[in-house]
Amino acid sequence: MPISKILSNWKNNVFDAVYWLEGEESFYIDQLVQYAEHKLLPEADQAFNLTVFYGKDADWAEVVNACKRYPVFAEKQVVILKEAQHMNSIEKLVSYIENPLSSTILIVAHKDKNVDGRSALAKLLKTKAVVLSTKKMYDNKLPEWVNQWVADNGYQISPKAVQIIVDHIGNDLSRIKNELEKLIVNLGDRKKITEDDIEKYIGISKEFNAFEFQDAIAHKKFSKAIQMIQYFESNQKAAPIQLILPTLYGFFSKLYSVYGLGTNDEKRIMAEVGLNFFSIKTTMAATRHYNPAKVEQILLLIHEYNLRVIGINDASNTDADLLKELVVKIMS
């Protein structure tokens, strides 16, 4: 069941007995758990009718016993099991899930992975629980997510500001949300987030960041790329090499996929390769500078330098030295 449907039901006092929240994307799991912990019950009922367990410390029998208790002076009680992936013998919850108490709302947060689909627990959950299964968001969906989050909170954001954020932070939705919330607090009466705001309040330079570095490589602007590396060397948090290399690898992987399509139709490329409106122009510009054979070579180079960063076949070069070498080889 989608998170929006679960939240809608909860807000309308429509509850199921068991909710199983699992998968790689903790943002949505945390969002539901936070709502359940603070909003499902009136504040006056929480002292007696809200029980929270943590998987690492919880015993399955304690969880089951809590679920079998009846609420105190209330219609419902809420039992939350956080970090359930760390609980021993979690499969023994089957005994309760098979026949749950209607007055108990059990919410299990099983992060980072899904339950083995072949297990008795997984098969039971399909028929006896509301299951939310989450996956990490694909990078090409991040700009859309950021735009939607900002709009839902009554603000606007420039396309370049969006790209700077997602390229710097990646698909950590919780961190993106936290940074945006921090930024909005400082906006005052303004409703439009700009690149200047990103630089001032989040600390990501609007000129020297992973996105602008990728753009310099795509347009084969050698002097600009070297200038940016010098900035990164003096400001190591601006765009560490551990961020830049995956960014470049993702870019050239998509560029290679573009060649595989054999078309210049930008709409088709955006749909099939997973590019957004802001990145398609940079990608198409790169096709004028790097042919398919060169892109293959670049992908191998990035892999080689990624190994060198962690000390394989390289024990003396600085990150800046490695980036300069890589840029020379990419643009040669």
Burial status of residue 103 (CB atoms within 10 A of its CB: 0-12, 13-18, 19 or more): middle
pTM exceeds cut of 0.95: no
CA angle, 280 then 285 then 288, to 5°: 140
Both tokens of residue 163?
């790209």
Domains 3-134 and 210-331 are alike in CATH topology: no
CATH tag, 3-134: 3.40.50.300
Where are the extended beta strands (E) located within the chain? 18-23, 50-54, 77-82, 104-111, 130-134, 156-157, 192-193
Encoded amino acid at 277, one letter: F
The per-residue pLDDT string of the chain (332 residues; one tens digit each, 9 = 90 and over) reads 789 999 999 999 999 999 999 999 999 999 999 999 999 999 999 999 999 999 999 999 999 999 999 999 999 999 999 999 999 889 999 999 999 999 999 999 999 888 888 889 889 999 999 999 999 888 878 888 999 999 999 999 998 899 889 888 888 899 999 999 999 999 988 999 999 999 898 888 888 888 899 999 999 999 999 999 999 998 877 888 988 999 899 999 999 999 999 888 888 998 888 887 778 888 999 999 999 999 999 999 999 999 998 888 776 788 999 999 999 999 98
Asked if the 210-331 domain carries CATH number 2.40.50.1070, the reply is: no
Please name the fold of domain 139-202.
Helicase, Ruva Protein; domain 3 (1.10.8)
Domain boundary assignment for the chain: 3-134, 139-202, 210-331
Total H helices, total E strands in the chain: 17, 7
